Amino acid sequence: MSDFNSGFSSGFKLGLVGVGKIVRDQHLPAIAATPNCHLVATADPHASLPELPAYQNLEAMLDAHPEITAVSICTPTHLRYSQARAALMRGKHVLLEKPPGATLSEVEDLIACAKEQGVSLFAAWHSRFAPGVAQAQQWLAERQMQRVEIEWKEDVRVWHPGQAWIWQPGGMGVFDPGINALSIATAILPQPFFLQQARLLVPSNAQTPIAADLTFTDPQGASIEAAFDFRQSGPPTWDMHIHSDGSRLSLTQGGCRLVIDDELIIEEEEREYQGLYARFAELIANKRSEVDVAPLRQVADAFLYGHREPTEAFIE
Ligand code: NAP
């Protein structure tokens, strides 16, 4: 069972597993802004952070610091399951970076394991914490949508420099960012939606797509089109437009900007990871888990049902 026995009063002591781009860009500032979260140590075979105890793997970190009550797993996705399971089995609360696993089955096992151990497991879909998402969800809740257009395009060389794992099985290729769009869509669209067809463009030297065009529908026959592309140059496009009963909702800039019928409703800086850590603290304090596999299931469906087309090799 967990050795964590208090809520917000004493906070939680955190270990970080994997010290890469997302930890430096997002986790560290968010942890610093979370009053109840105390960063104790890191585990990464090569990387470390100044003035913080560093270990080469999760087990060594937990052996040296039994006071750690929670870990954030921020390694490449194919490592997520074994590390998360090891932490759960030692009674630690676990935050899983997105995607929560390389397969659906392993995430299901983690859910069962967290329940058995009586600790909190949090599948952290950071894009759901973007400023416009909650209001978009509210606006759509009572509506029938007819058409959705999603464009999620970014330059892989800018956003994933040198990350060879992204082209390997489990790395998900363009679905690594595309799953963020799907995490928003599965949260705000009022009906479940299902893949009808997918075209996956796979570089000749990779196992995962560099671009994907997806067509979904819902039980009422709405049309949901998504275009994901890693070959964007210049600024990213992280936009979705939803047509509903003669109105149009646009959630753009990754969810930072919300416009409904040409009226600007929200335009704010993103602070997604502060929201994530606040939710993690809340889940721990309330002895709850939150693991929604819906975005990962959509990706699994695309890999299950999509047409693969070879395209030119990706050279970084
Ligand atoms: P990254 O820069 O490649 O960082 C991953 C880190 O984990 C690297 O330092 C890596 O070391 C280390 N690592 C590898 N094996 C390890 C092990 N066995 N134990 C501990 N650490 C290990 O990747 P990232 O961009 O931070 O992404 C990590 C995860 O966060 C991915 O699942 C990604 O989908 C997710 N994410 C990324 C972003 C983004 O914008 N980059 C945004 C949101 C979520 P080596 O480099 O030496 O192998």
Domains along the sequence of the chain with CATH: 2-124 (3.40.50.720), 128-269+300-311 (3.30.360.10)
Nearest atom in ligand 1 to 17's CA: 20
CA distances from 291 to 86, 109, 190, 242, 298 (A): 18, 12, 19, 26, 15
CA of 132 to the centre of ligand 1 (A): 27
CA of 43 to the centre of ligand 1 (A): 12
Nearest atom in ligand 1 to 79's CA: 18
Point out the residues that are catalytic.
98
Q: pTM for this one? A: 0.95
| Maximum C-alpha span of the chain | 60
Alpha carbon distance, N-terminus to C-terminus of the chain = 46
Model confidence over 134-157: pLDDT tens digits? Answer: 999 999 998 999 999 999 999 999
Q: What SS3 state is found at 190?
A: coil
Mutate to test the pocket of ligand 1, among 17, 74, 98, 106 (most ligand atoms within 8 A of CB): 74
Confidence (pLDDT) at 3: 35
Confidence (pLDDT) at 5: 36
Give pLDDT < 50 ranges for the chain: 1-9
- Length reported for the chain: 316
Confidence (pLDDT) at 11: 84
Take atom 8 of ligand 1 and give the residue whose Cα is closest.
20
Residues 6 or more apart in contact with residue 224 via CB below 8 angstroms:
147, 148, 150, 185, 189, 193, 215, 216, 217, 218
CA distances from 150 to 143, 196, 210, 228, 251 (A): 18, 15, 16, 8, 10
CA of 218 to the centre of ligand 1 (A): 34
Model confidence over 45-81: pLDDT tens digits? Answer: 999 999 999 999 999 999 999 999 999 999 999 999 9
Place of tokens 């930072």: 256
Place of tokens 């914490």: 129
Specify the DSSP class assigned to residue 88: H
Q: Which residues line ligand 1 (CB under 6 A)?
A: 17-23, 43-47, 57, 74-77, 79, 97-98, 126, 159-160, 163, 176
Confidence (pLDDT) at 7: 39
